[in-house]
A and B are shown apart, each in its own frame.
Chain A
Amino acid sequence: MRVALFLTCVNDTLYPDTGRAVVKLLTRLGVDVDFPMAQTCCGQAHYNTGYRHEAEPLARHFSDVFGEYEAIVTPSGSCGAMVRELYPRMGERARAEGRGDTLAATLAPVVPKTYELTEFLVDVLGVTDVGAYYPHTVTYHPTCHGLRGLGLGERPRRLLQAVRGLELVELPGADECCGFGGTFALKNSDVSAAMGADKVRNAESTGAEVLCAADNSCLMHIGGTMARLRTGMRPVHIAEILASTEEEPAP
Chain B
Amino acid sequence: MSGTYLGMPAFPEAAREAVADTTLRGNLRHATHTIRAKRAKAVTEVSDWAELREAGKRIKDHTLRHLDRYLVQVEETVTAAGGIVHWAADAGEANEIVTRLVKMTGETEVVKVKSMATQEIGLNEALEAEGIHAYETDLAELIVQLGKDRPSHILVPAIHRNRGEIRDIFAREMSEWGRPAPEGLTDTPAELAEAARLHLREKFLRAKVGISGANFMVAETGTLVVVESEGNGRMCLTLPDTLISVVGIEKIVPTWQDLEVFLQTLPRSSTAERMNPYTSTWTGTTDEDGPQNFHLVLLDNGRTDTLADEVGRQALRCIRCSACLNVCPVYERAGGHAYGSVYPGPIGAILSPQLRGTGSEIDASLPYASSLCGACYDVCPVAIDIPEVLVHLRERVVQGGEVTREGNKVVLRPAKGHAAERAAMRAARWAFTHPGALRTGQRAASRSRRFHPRTLPGPGRAWSETRDLPPVPTEPFRDWWQRTRGGKDGDR
Contact = CB atoms under 8 A, between A and B. Distances in A.
A51 B465 CA distance: 27
Interface of B: 11-12, 15-16, 19-20, 25, 310, 329-330, 333-334, 367-375, 377-378, 388, 391, 393-399, 421-422, 425-426, 428-429, 431-433, 435, 438, 442, 445, 459-460, 462-463, 465-470, 472-473, 475-478, 480-482, 486-487, 492
Contacts of B394: 48-50
A202 interface: no
Given A189-B12, A220-B470, A227-B468, A195 B399 contact: no
**Most A Cβ at <10 Å: residue of B372, B396, B472, B492:** B372
Interface of B is mostly: helix
Contact of B19 (A23, A58, A194): A194
Interface in A28-66: 33-35, 37-41, 43, 45-55, 57-58, 61
A40 B334 CA distance: 36
Contacts of B371: 144, 177, 179-181, 184, 188, 192, 195
A153 interface: no
17 contacts: A16-B480, A19-B481, A35-B477, A40-B433, A48-B391, A52-B399, A57-B429, A58-B429, A61-B432, A144-B375, A177-B329, A177-B375, A181-B371, A181-B373, A191-B333, A193-B466, A227-B468
Contacts of B20: 190
Contacts of B467: 193, 196, 221, 224-225, 227-228
Contacts of B469: 224
**Most A Cβ at <10 Å: residue of B11, B20, B445, B466:** B466
Contacts of B481: 19, 23, 35, 37
B18 to A, nearest CB: 9
A224 B470 contact: yes
Interface stretch (A4-12, A106-114, A132-140): A4-12
B17 to A, nearest CB: 9
A188 B11 contact: yes
Contacts of A190: 12, 15-16, 19-20
A246 interface: no
A47 B399 CA distance: 12
A185 interface: yes
A23 B487 contact: yes
A13 interface: yes
Contacts of A180: 371
A16 B480 CA distance: 8
9 A-B pairs with least C-beta separation? A181-B371, A50-B394, A224-B467, A189-B462, A177-B373, A16-B477, A193-B466, A227-B468, A19-B477
B475 to A, nearest CB: 6
A14 B474 CA distance: 9
